[in-house]
Chains A and B, each alone.
Chain A
Amino acid sequence: MSNVDALMDVIASARGARPASLSCPEAEDGMTISIALLVELAVANDRIDRLERMVAELRGMTPEALRETAPTPAEAEERRDANEALIVRVLHILFDPRKRIDGPAERAGAPPA
């Protein structure tokens, strides 16, 4: 069985309702997704750690020394660009020029945000 099928089976077997804690369902869903991403980040960090330890061993150095290997100025600039792009990808909604319209709050008579 694939991981996706296994996950879908677990999800499909859950019963009952999901009581809300927050007054905004979208915010609660977003928080739930953020928690899952936090866990996946920890999983990815563990993978990086395993690789670092293997590379350090192959290079005859300690993992700490490998992690403290500073990038060259050119490499540092490359990483800055890459991280900025990552931030834009994640926070793209903050830069989106389009104005929000026709949300349920607006349709109920509230002024647009």
Chain B
Amino acid sequence: MKVRDLDHELLPRVTQEDSSRQSAIVALRRLLNRHVRPHNIDHYEREGEPAFVARHGRKPQSPADVETALFASASYRRWSAVNRAVQEIIWLSVGEPIYRDQPRMRAAARRLADAPDRKGALHLDPDVIQPPGMADNDVHLQPGGYTMDRDADDIIAGSLYEAGGNVYSFGQGAGKADSKAGAVQRFLAEHHPDVRPARILEIGCSAGAASAAWAACWPEAEVHAIDVGAGMLRYAHARAEALGVPVIFHQMNGAHLTFPDGSFDLVISHNLLHEIGRGERKAMFREAARVARPGGLVIHQDIALRAQPSLVHAVEKRWDTRFNGEVYWTDYTDDDLVADMRAAGFDDGSLSEHDVPAIQGWGAWYILCGVRR
């Protein structure tokens, strides 16, 4: 199932002007990412590092030094200012039609969620434990954040996530056919071709695009998906119903799962690792291992950022930490995730790391895979 280039009832109705605005932002971001950002390392070498040396009498050594040196370059500062401005405009461009179309979208979500022939389910828990850095932070600058929940029909968080995510990803160079779930499904076909899961759990499902894709990939499987955001989950559930795929959504924290031991054949997360802190991630790894059955697979997929050729490249990629609400970006890029999986109960022979190419477009995805003994 496609996850980005599809039409469904929950998407906001956009005017030609809305579409033009979003297309212009995609074009602008593609230009920045392809033709401007790649020169940041040159700016560092030609402007930033010499300025740092002139001021401090030594070369930059620590990540903090490198960041200081980057900002000593006027060219880098200019890129940073433009990149931040464009990131903010993304949300205006998708938020305007979403807020304008709220009455219709909310009614559609309610009708789909309550339909007698609905295929999935939604279980909300207002007492869910919110992970630090999530409820009080606009991740990716999404206005209101991922856990926005203003009333019993609020679907804004999910709406913004899907629409904004598409504009962002296309601007990053993702093709319309790209799919994180598709990349993991291709990985499974290549490395674990005999896997036929009867029960699948997705942790941190956000707006449910991958959850629906998993349900479509294995229609005979029972797919459960969890997230901490009620607004995300209402949207994800209605979206799955609109697409006609059965997914059971739960408001639940991945570090505190309520499922019994060994209850899933496949446990997945998509782009969750860089959104949660070190302690939450280690607890989530333990919980994912606990609910996977012996012989089951645990796969955590994220952005392929961890292997960088130099400290300067690594620090340049950390721009999102300060400027894009990605407060745990560095924890994700720098920590020994294999060691954390080992501590969660996986042995060395069962663990593997991979950078796999995107299904379509530029870039790659990181996959961390463990087989439960």
A residues contacting B by CB (< 8 A) are: 1-3, 5-7, 9-11, 13-16, 18-19, 21-23, 28, 31-32, 35-36, 38-40, 42-43, 46-47, 50
Contact = CB atoms under 8 A, between A and B. Distances in A.
Given A3-B100, A6-B95, A13 B24 contact: no
> What range describes how many residues of B lie at the interface?
35 or more
Interface in B141-161: 141, 143-145, 148, 156
A38 B28 contact: yes
Contacts of B144: 13-15
20 contacts: A1-B100, A6-B96, A10-B91, A10-B92, A10-B143, A14-B141, A15-B144, A16-B137, A19-B84, A19-B323, A21-B78, A21-B81, A22-B78, A32-B85, A35-B82, A36-B85, A42-B20, A42-B21, A47-B16, A47-B17
A14 B95 CA distance: 11
Interface string B60-91: 00000000000100000110111011101101
B84 A3 contact: no
B77 A21 contact: yes
A22 B79 CA distance: 10
The 9 A-B pairs with the shortest beta carbon distances in the complex, nearest first, are A10-B95, A42-B24, A21-B80, A6-B99, A21-B81, A46-B20, A13-B143, A32-B85, A13-B144
A87 to B, nearest CB: 23
B99 A1 contact: yes
Given A10-B95, A21-B80, A35-B86, 5 more contacts: A1-B100, A10-B96, A42-B23, A42-B24, A46-B17
B96 A50 contact: no
B191 interface: no
A1 B102 contact: yes
A26 to B, nearest CB: 12
Interface in B86-118: 86, 88-89, 91-93, 95-100, 102
A36 B89 contact: yes
Given A1-B100, A7-B96, A14 B143 contact: yes
B275 to A, nearest CB: 15
A86 B359 CA distance: 47
A2 B99 CA distance: 9
Nearest to A34: B85
A11 B137 CA distance: 15
Contacts of B77: 21-23
Interface string B34-71: 00000000000000000000000000000000000001
Nearest to B19: A46
Contacts of B102: 1
Contact of A7 (B17, B81, B86, B95): B95
B17 A43 contact: yes
Interface string B11-26: 0000011001101110
A20 to B, nearest CB: 8
Interface in B198-246: none
Contacts of A42: 20-21, 23-24, 27
Nearest to B17: A43
A21 B85 CA distance: 10
Contact of A32 (B88, B137, B156): B88
B254 interface: no
Given A22-B77, A31-B81, A35-B86, A11 B92 contact: yes
B322 interface: yes
B102 to A, nearest CB: 7
Nearest to A46: B20
B296 interface: no
